[in-house]
């Protein structure tokens, strides 16, 4: 029997298998409001065998985004839109977490600074200033009202709330006096842990965290020692919070480059950080194949896995894996992010299921 297709209790909910769909921004809302085609998309993936779906990064405020049509969760209309999605995912037998999102760093060429924990601009950063004030607690309350099963505190490559990095976090405000390294780390860790504790106050045990200690996207990256010290300490503290899971994103060979530099920090994140997480379910993400997934879960290396990109062209990915089908659809990378004015179904909801 496949270990991957056994249930697992995460916080207050039980997922039917260990195969998650990780957050995938698709840029398809109607002016930040979740719409009918998004409902079809999430329902397809729930019916396609995802034990747990994590939504695309969901904005907590209008500002601090790269994607104009990413959905939000700061007003009633958005909550109602999400409710239709969570209800249809539940009816299809799956569970769904909301991934909360706010641009991590300042940006170049913005008329006003984006609210965020970092005073340093990110090379390649694209977070826009638009009106609005971030509010994680309000967003978490709204997530609950929208009947999500939990909330994932997003990956710092994309988001604000875990400013763990020396490259993304200096003083909390650009006009503050310079601080020494130890002072910086205190603020950095306190911010990340406070954000998680605030989410736990609203959501109890159904709060999760995604981390990419080896990642270089959006100008992340530190020396190996600094990376291990930073994430090791953070995860040691996070383990005490008894989150429902932690998703660890492994090093990707598709490593972004800035000014001829690759800021990512290659190392084995599962081997390095599992020791800090004895109380927490670990999910592994990044380029995991079906065979590796089965091996990871059956050997107890992790409680589950997340797949991202392959879910885009294979809405029935879970059923495919369970039935031993090949991933036969040809993925079109140009439709990863729905382009305003184009037919949103193309490359979004029109990929065919396998024949069973």
Ligand X SMILES: Cc1cc2nc3c(=O)[nH]c(=O)nc-3n(C[C@H](O)[C@H](O)[C@H](O)COP(=O)(O)O)c2cc1C
Q: Rule CB under 6 A: which residues touch ligand X?
A: 22-25, 56-57, 99, 154-155, 158, 210, 249, 285-287, 307-310, 336
Minimum Å gap between C-beta 64 and ligand X is 13
Cβ-based nearer residue to ligand X, 214 or 277: 214
* Cα 39 from Cα 82, distance rounded (Å): 8
* Residue 330: CB minimum distance to ligand X, A: 15
Nearest approach in angstroms of CB 152 to ligand X is: 8
Strands 282-285 and 304-307: parallel
Q: Residue 335 and residue 331: Cα distance in Å, rounded?
A: 9
- Residue closer to ligand X by CB (options 201, 333) is 333
CB of 269 to ligand X, least distance (A): 12
Which residue number, 81 or 103, has a Cβ lying nearer to ligand X?
103
Is the CB of 170 or the CB of 212 nearer to ligand X? 212
C-beta of residue 327 within 8 angstroms of C-beta of residue 317:
yes
Instruction: Give 57 or 213: the residue with its C-beta nearer to ligand X.
Output: 57
Residue nearer to ligand X on the CB measure, 28 or 47? 28
Judged by beta carbon, residue 56 or residue 149, the one nearer ligand X is: 56
Residues 28, 344 contacting (CB under 8 angstroms):
yes
52 φ/ψ angles, rounded to the nearest 5 degrees:
-140, 130
Pick between residue 15 and residue 249 the one whose CB is nearest to ligand X. Answer: 249
Nearest approach, Cβ of residue 81 and ligand X (Å): 17
Residue 60, Cβ neighbours under 10 Å: how many?
Answer: 28
Least spacing, CB of residue 186 vs ligand X, in Å? 26
Bridge partner residues of 283 (DSSP): 247, 304
- Other Cβ atoms less than 10 A from the Cβ of 91: the count is 11
Q: Are 119 and 170 a contacting pair, CB within 8 Å?
A: yes
Residue 240 CB, nearest approach to ligand X (Å): 24
Per this entry, what is the length of the chain? 356
Residue nearest to ligand X (CB): 308
User: Smallest distance, Å, CB 26 to ligand X?
Assistant: 7
């Amino acid at each position: 029997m496949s270990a991957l297709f056994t249930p697992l209790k995460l916080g207050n909910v039980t997922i039917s298998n260990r195969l998650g769909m990780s957050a995938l921004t698709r840029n398809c809302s109607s002016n930040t409001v979740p719409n009918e085609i998004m409902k079809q998309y999430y329902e397809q993936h729930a019916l396609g065998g995802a034990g747990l779906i994590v939504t695309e990064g969901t904005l907590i405020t209008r500002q601090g985004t790269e994607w104009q049509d990413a959905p939000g969760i700061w007003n009633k209309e958005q909550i109602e839109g999400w409710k239709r999605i969570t209800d249809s995912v539940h009816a299809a037998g799956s569970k769904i977490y909301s991934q909360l999102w706010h641009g991590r760093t300042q940006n170049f060429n913005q008329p006003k600074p984006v609210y965020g924990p970092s005073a340093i601009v990110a090379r390649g950063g694209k977070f826009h200033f638009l009106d609005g004030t971030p509010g994680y607690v309000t967003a978490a309350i709204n997530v609950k009202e929208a009947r999500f099963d939990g909330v994932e505190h997003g990956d710092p490559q994309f988001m604000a709330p875990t400013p763990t990095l020396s490259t993304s976090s200096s003083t909390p405000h650009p006009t503050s006096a310079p601080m020494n390294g130890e002072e910086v780390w205190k603020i950095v860790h306190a911010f990340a842990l406070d954000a998680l504790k605030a989410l736990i106050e609203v959501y109890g045990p159904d709060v999760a965290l995604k981390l990419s200690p080896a990642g270089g996207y959006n100008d992340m990256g530190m020396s190996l020692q600094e990376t291990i010290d930073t994430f090791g300490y953070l995860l040691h503290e996070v383990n005490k919070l008894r989150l429902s899971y932690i998703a660890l994103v492994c090093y990707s060979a598709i490593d972004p480059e800035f000014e001829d530099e690759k800021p990512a920090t290659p190392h084995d994140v599962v081997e390095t950080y599992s020791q800090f997480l004895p109380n927490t379910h670990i999910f592994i993400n990044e380029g995991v194949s079906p065979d590796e997934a089965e091996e990871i879960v059956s050997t107890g290396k992790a409680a589950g896995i997340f797949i991202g990109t392959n879910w885009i062209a294979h809405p029935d990915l879970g059923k495919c894996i369970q039935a031993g089908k090949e991933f036969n659809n040809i993925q079109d990378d140009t439709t990863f992010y729905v382009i305003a004015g184009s037919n949103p179904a193309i490359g979004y909801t029109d990929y065919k299921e396998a024949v069973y």
